[in-house]
A and B are shown apart, each in its own frame.
Chain A
Amino acid sequence: MLKAKQKSNLQTEQSANKEDKKNIDQKTKNRINQKATIKKILDYIKKYRLLVLFSLVLAALIVALTLYVPVMIGNAVDLILGKGNVDFDALFKILYKIAAAVIVTAIAQWVMNTTNNYITYHVIQDIREAAFKKIQILDLKYIDSKSYGDIVSRMIADVDTFADGLLMGFTQLFTGILTIGGTLIFMLITNVPIALVVVCITPISILVARFIATKTYSMFQEQSKTRGEETALIEEMVGNQKVVKMFAREKAVTEEFREINNRLGKCSLKAIFYSSTTNPATRFVNSLVYAGVGIFGAFLAIRGGITVGRLSCFLSYANQYTKPFNEISGVITELQNAIACAARIFELIEQEPQLPEKENAFVLSNAKGNVVLNDVSFSYTPEQKLIENFNLSVKPGQRVAIVGPTGCGKTTVINLLMRFYDVKKGGISIDGTDIRDMTRGSLRTSYGMVLQETWLRSGTILDNLRMGKPDASREEVIEAAKQSHAHSFIKRLPNGYDTVINEDGGSLSQGQKQLLCIARVMLCLPPMLILDEATSSIDTRTEIQIQKAFAKMMKGRTSFIVAHRLSTIKEADVILVMKDGNIIEQGTHEELLGMGGFYCNLYNSQFAKA
């Protein structure tokens, strides 16, 4: 503001103009985006174009018939003039016609609605499937950088809103427009002056609706902002309810919630009330139209310009004509909403997928385990260098341990080995083949991977263990569980191997979850192994037993082990000591201790008396 004052008025005006232009640019951009989104939606609908056509034909039929019924009723009323002045023969004919028309309309309505539902639900099924498939081939970078909640809400809530909009568009927009057009034509044919009265008054209702919509827009924005705030709080607190209870913070958290909740209540009330005035307001305009038609029509009838039956038909038209206007303005906001939601889904579906696999890519099988990292450089963001000129050659069957302080890039090395991320420079090869020349699937299944962050899915223990080998027999699974020392605790669960666990493993301890993850890998017997802090929550006694099992299983197979626990890695053939993305020491346990460097310090700290 102060700056504006310092400048001359002219300048301020200019800058204001610029601001306007920017806004306009933004608006046109939005419009272009909207057009692009609509085009994409149409692409999805294309598959069902015959059904759409069918639905449109039905809609036209329904509109024509529903418009014709009041005409016939009007004609019928005209046959009932007064005492002793009723033409029953003609009346019956008309009544039969009405009945036939009504039944045809009803059937057509049902078929049309069912068709529309079919199209809509299949379109969203296709869209969800496309989104899900995309998730499977997305760069992990995208998944790592987005919140899961956001992606899921795109796939679920946004698609739902889109479906509602689409359905409304199908059923109401088209019939609405047809009804308006049809009524207009019918009215003009029947009586031009009254038709003009209707045409002149109706637009008022659209203006009123639009006026209210623009006024309430900011209130709705405020509402969704506050709602977002509240949802975030709920996710955090309810999601970590146990921690809240540990610190006896229930009351404090409840107060925090109350504050936001009350705020939400206030702005919701405003948004909902003001927006809900649309209906009464447009209804009021309708009753004006009705009164207008009534008065004007009565004058005409007095002069003999129109029959009473026709007038009654007009009155029902006046109702039918204005209704679609109200509906359409509702449908249009709904459609805009739907398009905005669709745009969010398409943003996900159109994400750049990971590099496609080369044609006739090499399928790695029975890898010997000669892993070579040649001059590898990698970083997640260009600004922050992480791994630079990394070289490593692993002979088949070697056990490689990676140690180093938190954040030194240990997990990153694993991301690169598994090709979750691609190297920026240099290359990684297995048995002489660059991993970029082989299929991702064959590369990844050649490794057995156990991560510190245990991930289990909702389902039975058995399902979880069979993850990598769906056709494994129960006996095989139990054998693998025994080897990984998970059998004894699984046995004690309420339903043993058929116990259902939920997403986060429920009441299983971290260590038990790790045992399950290890058993999962044991079952597959992959030719190489990656253990990223895989045993951090397992007691050392069990760990040693597991390691023995691993050692037996891994005999002659290459393995990579990341660990903090130095006892875990002492027996490695090569120990890589990493710091800030570089290998600073490399050698066997004894060699490294002899060097008296970083590793030696780390090792000794384990035994420092507190």
Chain B
Amino acid sequence: MKKLFVYLKDYKFESVMAPLFKLLEAGFELFIPLVMAAIIDKGIANQDKPFVLKMGGVLVILGVVGLVSAITAQYFAAKSAVGFSTKLRQSLFEHIQSLNFTNIDQVGPSTLITRMTSDINQIQSGVNLVLRLFLRSPIIVFGAMIMAFTIDVKSALIFVIAIPLLALVVFGIMLYTMPLYKKVQNALDKVLGISRENLTGARVIRAFHQEQREVEKFEGLNNNLSKLQTNVARISAIMNPVTYVIVNVATIALIYSGAIQVNIGTLTQGEVIALVNYMSQILVELVKLANLIITVTKSLACADRVSQVFDIPAGENYSFNDERIKSEEKYISHNDVSSLAVNKTCEKTSKGETADTSAYLTFSHVGLTYEGAGAETLSDISFSVKKGMTVGIIGGTGSGKTSLINLIPGFYQATKGQILLEGKSIYDYPCDDLRNRVGIVPQKAVLFKGTIRSNLLWGNENATDDELMRAVTTAQAKEVVEGKQGQLDAVIEQGGKNLSGGQRQRLTIARALVKRPEILILDDSASALDFATDASLKKALKQDTAGMTTFIVSQRASSISHADLILVLDDGKIVGMGNNNELLQNCEVYKEIYYSQFQEHGEEVQNNVESKAEI
């Protein structure tokens, strides 16, 4: 949690000035009982009206000075707290940007979002309050004690006993309730989770007629939350009454010891009043403090949640700095020996060693184990691709197709073997450089709030309208764009809600094409398209992406049958490699997939193809 204080560094001046001015204000406030004591002991006792007026004037001046310093303090406190949270938010956002895919899988976006928003807001008000009031209260408390010493040392000893007692109660309760507040927060998270689930899954829940069960589940969680809340509240509620008792018992003691001293003549009546006033000032501050402590406790819990995010190491191996590259190099040279052997033994179907020299992208003995997973998701993947080739990747659900293509832009790091781009390990390329070469169309079609244009420009910020339209045309999204009011400037709502799944998919393809990447990856990105559109897309892509090395992941044999190289994956391993005809002859798995799609109509397909060929 201490790490978060770093963000206060730039506001050192403000963070010091705020309590300093608070100190001034509190100091002036502490003079008030003294002035009042003077009024009573000198003004009233001596019947001195001008003196009373003069002292009254002093009270007003003290008030004005107090006001000015208080406002100054508020300004510095606000500036420091807001500046702090602004920096913290910025830096947390940047940190999240630097997380790798593994981290994102583990943490999940929804908690990241709450931590970025509500948690930081809570911390901000915490910092603000601490600067403004958390320091003011001790100053008043200790100031009152010091003032008591100036009046009478014996009476002041009562303060010396009472104050540590008060501190014990206040901080004891605070420390005790802090973990409880965290529990409350977690219980609230659960209630939030189930509420969200029941909205996103309304259809499924209703389809299974599970409404009643969900309500019961919610009641359980909600009840638990309520119990925890009342439990914490019950303990926090002890603070006020106990401090009230301590302060008033101390007051009684003050009056009693005061009475004895007045009786012997070592103290005056006015001084006793001043002492009692100081004690009641402490009480007023404590009441404020008690209310604040709840806020501060909450924000400490939030600060803890935020620093948990910071504790995730910026996993992107080479994202914003290139330092890691060197350590990567070691790793690769270590593997060099084995990689030489690879090229000879693998690749039964591809052309062999000669192809390797002109190889554009090479995987050799690549393995991938996700963090926390029990087994390798990909194992011993070796293949080599020449520039401009179209590579089809096919395989069963969960066979590792997406994992494989996610390795190319370095989203996940291979845990075994190496991946070479133009003869150099991909981990030797600066991250941005590598990713700029790769254009990817993910399975899930995500668009962002803005316009069609602003979304397409993600691919390349400097693209002209012509280039955009060209990409749109290739992606078969021309009718989507033309059907919208404002064409390229048509508004897209958050998440692309105002478009259908197929429309979104085509626009995400266009977005990747705008980039004109060297390597284009289509990860099952035509699943929501009907066959007619899919077929025209295939044709257009073929024409428009000449020179691009294209990877097409698909379930449909028809989508990849034209590829120069088809990789057949099964259970994380390559079980076949070659073109359509080769695989139909020597790869059982491919044959099965192929004929499963054209089952029984195999002949018909054959005829179809032949007749087309004749034309």
Contact = CB atoms under 8 A, between A and B. Distances in A.
A447 B524 CA distance: 29
Interface in A510-549: 510-512, 514-515, 520, 524, 533, 536-544
B355 interface: no
B233 A79 contact: no
B86 interface: yes
> Interface size class for chain B?
35 or more
Contacts of A544: 596, 599
B203 A298 contact: no
A502 B39 CA distance: 70
A494 B377 CA distance: 12
Given A234-B93, A503-B193, A506-B108, A245 B411 contact: yes
B472 to A, nearest CB: 17
A61 interface: no
A291 B259 contact: no
A455 B204 CA distance: 7
B109 interface: yes
A99 interface: yes
A77 B192 contact: no
Given A406-B501, A494-B373, A258 B90 contact: yes
B78 A290 contact: no
Contact of A235 (B113, B201, B245): B113
A265 to B, nearest CB: 4
A136 B203 CA distance: 10
B341 interface: no
A269 B128 CA distance: 11
A105 B135 CA distance: 28
Given A91-B256, A564-B529, A242 B411 contact: yes
A257 B238 contact: no
Interface string A200-243: 00000000000000000000000000010011101111111111
B47 interface: yes
A15 interface: no
Contacts of A136: 198, 205, 211, 214-215
A149 to B, nearest CB: 8
Contacts of A405: 530, 532-533
A589 to B, nearest CB: 10
Interface in B539-585: 539, 541-542, 555-558, 562
A151 B202 CA distance: 13
A539 to B, nearest CB: 5
A234 B116 contact: yes
Interface string A269-284: 1001100110111011
Nearest to B569: A539
Candidate in A246, A252, A323 with the most chain B CB atoms within 10 angstroms = A246
Interface string B578-608: 0000000000010011001111010001001
B234 A247 contact: no
Interface string A100-134: 00110111011001100110011011001100110
B173 interface: no
B539 A610 contact: yes
Nearest to A291: B59
> Interface size class for chain A?
35 or more
Nearest to B58: A291
B458 A249 contact: yes
Contact of A512 (B398, B542, B555, B608): B398
Contacts of A602: 530-532
Given A265-B86, A544-B599, A606 B535 contact: yes
Interface stretch (A81-89, A370-378, A392-400): A81-89
Contacts of A250: 97-98, 319-320
Contact of A308 (B62, B273, B395, B557): B273
Interface stretch (A41-49, A339-347, A381-389, A437-445): A437-445
Contacts of A564: 527-531
Given A105-B241, A311-B40, A470 B213 contact: yes
Contacts of B272: 77, 80
Nearest to B211: A136
Given A246-B435, A308-B273, A302 B44 contact: yes
A234 B117 contact: yes
Nearest to A606: B531
A404 B70 CA distance: 71
B280 A316 contact: yes
B52 A458 contact: no
Given A246-B440, A284-B66, A511-B398, A467 B199 contact: no
Contacts, number: 494
Interface in B208-247: 208-211, 213-215, 218-219, 222-223, 225-226, 229-230, 233-234, 237-238, 240-242, 244-245
Given A82-B265, A133-B215, A236 B530 contact: no
Given A315-B36, A492-B375, A540-B597, A254 B531 contact: no
Candidate in A95, A99, A511 with the most chain B CB atoms within 10 angstroms = A511
B322 to A, nearest CB: 15
B557 A492 contact: no
B59 A315 contact: no
A407 B495 CA distance: 18
A272 B82 contact: yes
B64 interface: yes
Interface in B225-284: 225-226, 229-230, 233-234, 237-238, 240-242, 244-245, 248-249, 251-252, 255-256, 258-260, 262-265, 268-270, 272-273, 276-277, 280, 284
Contact of B40 (A85, A129, A156, A298): A298
B532 A601 contact: yes
Nearest to B106: A506
B599 A232 contact: no
A152 interface: yes
A404 B188 CA distance: 45
Interface stretch (B175-183, B300-308, B443-451): B443-451
A532 B245 CA distance: 69
A128 B524 contact: no
B387 interface: no
Contacts of A550: none
Contact of A117 (B77, B229, B528, B538): B229
Contact of A276 (B74, B203, B597): B74
B301 to A, nearest CB: 14
Contacts of A91: 255-256, 259
Contacts of A543: 596
Given A80-B262, A143-B199, A541 B109 contact: no
Interface in B96-127: 96-99, 101, 104-105, 108-110, 112-113, 116-118, 121, 124
A133 B118 CA distance: 26
A542 to B, nearest CB: 5
Nearest to B398: A489
A107 B398 contact: no
Nearest to B372: A494
A125 B238 CA distance: 23
Candidate in B55, B93, B98, B442 with the most chain A CB atoms within 10 angstroms = B93
Contacts of A84: 263, 265
Nearest to B132: A276
A152 B59 CA distance: 52
Interface string A552-588: 0000000000001111001000000000000000000
A510 B49 contact: no
Contacts of B172: none
A80 B210 CA distance: 75
B397 A106 contact: no
9 contacts: A110-B241, A254-B94, A262-B86, A273-B79, A284-B66, A287-B60, A539-B399, A604-B608, A607-B609
Given A243-B442, A302-B52, 17 more contacts: A83-B262, A95-B255, A110-B240, A143-B199, A152-B196, A155-B191, A239-B113, A240-B446, A265-B82, A281-B67, A288-B60, A290-B32, A298-B43, A404-B530, A489-B398, A539-B593, A541-B396
Query: Which 3 interchain pairs have the tightest Cβ spacing?
Result: A511-B397, A280-B70, A83-B265
